[in-house]
Chains A and B, each alone.
Chain A
Amino acid sequence: MKLLSKGAEADLYIAEWYGRKVVIKRRISKVYRNPCLDLRLRASRTVREAENMHEAKKASVPTPIIYLVDKESTTLIMEYIDGLRVKEALGMLDNSQKEKLCEQIGMKVGMLHSTSLIHGDLTTSNMIVCGDKVFFIDFGLSFHSHSDEDKGVDLHLLKRALDSTHYKESRDCLKYILQGYREVSGESYTSKILKKMKEIEYRGRYFSGRT
């Protein structure tokens, strides 16, 4: 077993499991958190991640296969995706490749949304490029919703992840992503969600003054 990543929420290991190369994702207890709350969050996210990774496949969005869910130890065992995270991949692409990748990301997000699945944590660390596919991972904060607001937040988070981490190329990336989203979701629906996105952005960052 080899440590793959020590994230904010979970420890991830690469391991051999019945002859397969797998990722073991264990959500660890947080000492700062109230124990009742801590257990509630870890258990529900573990289950949710497994369920919705599977759900995403029905929307034709590539995700790792889940082999095992252990609610007790809040652990998942899943397929290892041998690729590069979009976070790293973006920097290695020329413009037209970048456009293609971002467009594909946008299409996949559109497909998730079309089945009312909200990812909840769309960042470039949570997408892995493998061959000509983009795999989506980290579904712990995902949920089902039909609301424009929730879809708008999903895209808003992706935009902000681009703005704060890929600030040199974020505008182009976002443009291509929305291009892909539009292809899947249609013009009028996309502009509705984009309007929501703006609204959300304006809400948070400013002084609210509502005390």
Chain B
Amino acid sequence: MKDLLCLGIESTAHTFGAGIVSEDGKIYSDSRDVYIPVIGRGIHPTEAAQHHNIVAPRVILDAFRKADLKPGMIDIIAYSCGPGLGPCLRVGATIARALSTYLCKPLVPVNHAIAHIEIASLNTGAKDPLTVLVSGGHTAIVAYAAGRWRIYGETEDITLGNLLDMFAREVGLPLPGGPEVERLAEMGKIFIDLPYTVKGNDVAYSGLLSAALRKYRDGVDLTDLCFSLQEVAFAMIAEATERSLAHTEKKELLLSGGVAANKRLQGMLESIAREHNVKFYCVDKSLSGDSGVQIAWNGILAYRCGLRIDVEKSLVKSRWRLDQVDIPWRS
């Protein structure tokens, strides 16, 4: 019997992506187009959605072309159902519905956050990890237990990705902010005291953001500031991770999501893993950001457990908590 093939469509925020993955985890193609707001401005949901609408046909065709497959050869259509920005999610969902109806293929809704974790697991080979998911949309420390991914720690205000992006935007650096801040941080030398907020296993970043911006306006050197911002922000999530690790006693630690690409953050978590005798995994840069591939892979996992949705019922859920999703493929 031939392996199932799944087309995944991603459109939660900046990225419109289409990816094709087979049942055995082989990635056939990964096609994306990222909406980039002008410098100094944040993401505007309807503008992003407009961007997605424009690029969608090209991105999807590109995914088929790279995979050297015809649309009819696909077995499953998976789409990012949430959480995310409503207008953006609806673009992906509408296209997925149309494809599903036209091609007569089953439609599978996927939780974007869980898809990040599952693609990172596939990519690294982690089996039962404590997972740190850090991106523009998420900052959470989760582990699987009894049918669900459970949240052990998370941000109480903005995400780590938000923090870096908002800081970058305010000081005039191009978006996405993460790589820029990382580049400048490597040149920083002096550690500047900034507020450090850990509450149990939770973190809060908005106080850190405003304090860092205040320092910037006071004329503190930008490289020193980027350096200190990273040191404090990452130490916070690292501490929350270490607490969760001690608590859950998991034997693997997995770093996933867009901010996972940051070398300093990787170094901190790796150090913690070593200290606790735990195996450290980090998702490859090519799969850390939002992509259709993560949706496609999660689509396969879900479909194999019999999950699918009628086109008429395939609404988007912009506030779909990752700990509300049943995970039959892990039980």
Where the two chains meet, the residues of A that have a C-beta atom closer than 8 Å to any C-beta of B are 6-9, 30-34, 36-37, 40-41, 120-123, 125, 141, 153, 157, 160-161, 163-165, 167, 200, 202-211
Contact with B321, one of A31, A167, A206 (Cβ below 8 angstroms): A206
> Interface size of B by Cβ–Cβ distance < 8 Å?
60
Nearest CB of A to B32, in Å: 17
Contacts of B321 in A (CB 8 A): 205-206
Indicate if the CB atoms of A204 and B318 lie closer than 8 Å: no
Nearest CB of B to A88, in Å: 14
Contact with B13, one of A34, A125, A160, A209 (Cβ below 8 angstroms): A209
**Do A204 and B155 contact each other (CB < 8 Å), given the known contacts A32-B238, A157-B199, A211-B43?**
yes
Q: Please, how many angstroms separate the alpha-carbon atoms of A31 and B242 in the complex?
A: 13
Where the two chains meet, the residues of B that have a C-beta atom closer than 8 Å to any C-beta of A are 12-14, 42-43, 45, 82-85, 136-138, 140, 145-146, 150-152, 154-159, 161-162, 165-166, 175, 191, 193, 196, 198-202, 228, 231-232, 235, 238-239, 242-243, 245-247, 267-269, 271-272, 275, 318-319, 321-323
Indicate if the CB atoms of A40 and B193 lie closer than 8 Å: yes
Q: Please, how many angstroms separate the alpha-carbon atoms of A120 and B159 in the complex?
A: 20
Interface centre among B85, B238, B239, B318 (most CB of A within 10 A): B239
Indicate if the CB atoms of A32 and B272 lie closer than 8 Å: yes
Indicate if the CB atoms of A211 and B246 lie closer than 8 Å: no
Indicate if the CB atoms of A141 and B200 lie closer than 8 Å: yes
Contacts of A123 in B (CB 8 A): 200, 247
**Do A210 and B42 contact each other (CB < 8 Å), given the known contacts A120-B199, A141-B199, A167-B145?**
yes
Residue of chain A at shortest CB distance from B241? A8
Residue of chain A at shortest CB distance from B41? A211
Q: Please, how many angstroms separate the alpha-carbon atoms of A21 and B71 in the complex?
A: 73
A-B contact count (CB 8 A): 125
Q: Please, how many angstroms separate the alpha-carbon atoms of A125 and B248 in the complex?
A: 12
Q: Please, how many angstroms separate the alpha-carbon atoms of A167 and B152 in the complex?
A: 12
Indicate if the CB atoms of B247 and A211 lie closer than 8 Å: no
Can you list 16 A-B contacts (CB < 8 A)? A9-B239, A32-B238, A32-B269, A34-B231, A34-B235, A37-B232, A41-B196, A123-B247, A141-B198, A153-B156, A160-B151, A167-B146, A204-B154, A205-B321, A207-B83, A210-B158
Contacts of A37 in B (CB 8 A): 191, 196, 231-232, 235
Q: Please, how many angstroms separate the alpha-carbon atoms of A7 and B245 in the complex?
A: 10
Indicate if the CB atoms of A165 and B247 lie closer than 8 Å: yes
9 smallest A-B Cβ distances: which pairs? A207-B83, A32-B271, A157-B200, A32-B268, A8-B243, A8-B246, A8-B242, A34-B231, A207-B137
Q: Please, how many angstroms separate the alpha-carbon atoms of A210 and B238 in the complex?
A: 23
Nearest CB of B to A63, in Å: 18
Contacts of A153 in B (CB 8 A): 156, 199, 202
Contacts of B193 in A (CB 8 A): 36, 40
**Do A34 and B319 contact each other (CB < 8 Å), given the known contacts A120-B200, A204-B156, A209-B84?**
no
Contacts of A202 in B (CB 8 A): 319
Nearest CB of A to B251, in Å: 16
Contacts of A209 in B (CB 8 A): 13, 43, 45, 84-85, 137
Residue of chain B at shortest CB distance from A122? B200
Q: Please, how many angstroms separate the alpha-carbon atoms of A135 and B34 in the complex?
A: 53
Contacts of A8 in B (CB 8 A): 239, 242-243, 245-247
Residue of chain B at shortest CB distance from A5? B246
Indicate if the CB atoms of B162 and A211 lie closer than 8 Å: yes
Contacts of A122 in B (CB 8 A): 200
Contacts of B191 in A (CB 8 A): 34, 36-37
Nearest CB of A to B149, in Å: 10
Q: Please, how many angstroms separate the alpha-carbon atoms of A66 and B190 in the complex?
A: 37
Q: Please, how many angstroms separate the alpha-carbon atoms of A161 and B231 in the complex?
A: 27
Indicate if the CB atoms of B243 and A211 lie closer than 8 Å: no
Contact with A203, one of B157, B196, B199, B318 (Cβ below 8 angstroms): B157
Contact with B235, one of A32, A121, A157 (Cβ below 8 angstroms): A32
Q: Please, how many angstroms separate the alpha-carbon atoms of A141 and B238 in the complex?
A: 16
Nearest CB of B to A98, in Å: 20
Nearest CB of A to B169, in Å: 8
Indicate if the CB atoms of B199 and A164 lie closer than 8 Å: no
Contact with B267, one of A32, A36, A125 (Cβ below 8 angstroms): A32
